[in-house]
Amino acid sequence: MKLILRLLLSTIAVLVADMLLSGVHADSLLTGLFVAVVLGLLNTFVRPLIVLLTLPVTIVTLGLFILAINAGMVLLAARLIDGFRVDSFWWALAFSVVQWAVQGFLLALDGGEKKSDG
């Protein structure tokens, strides 16, 4: 159930970013759902490898290179999904920041991660 809730919140975050940013275009609700799924898969399987390979650059830039990696994941998702377009690297960077903020807000409304004492 938690996975479905996270997927729904990610889809909402994608659609909000689409509405707020003129350089990001998602054709429909279903496209937003596909973007959320693909970004989740890319962030689970591809992103850790890229972060590991670019660790020296990330350390030198004090972690700011992670933002470029996030934008790259968005651009890769835009290449993989018909109906989802991002006009440039900067729009992808803005998309990743807006999506992060919206997801954080929605998760806070949900109560976030609840820890059990048992």
Q: What pLDDT digit, counting tens, does each position of 15-50 carry? A: 999 999 999 999 999 999 999 999 999 999 999 999
In b/e form, how buried is each residue of 47-66, taking b as 16+ CB within 10 angstroms?
beebeeebeeebeeeeeebb
pTM for the model stands at 0.89
- The dihedrals phi and psi of 65, each to the nearest 5 degrees, come to -65, -20
How far, CA to CA in Å, does 88 sit from each of 60, 92, 113? 25, 6, 34
Q: Quick one: average pLDDT of 94-102? A: 96
Q: Is the pLDDT of residue 89 over 60?
A: yes
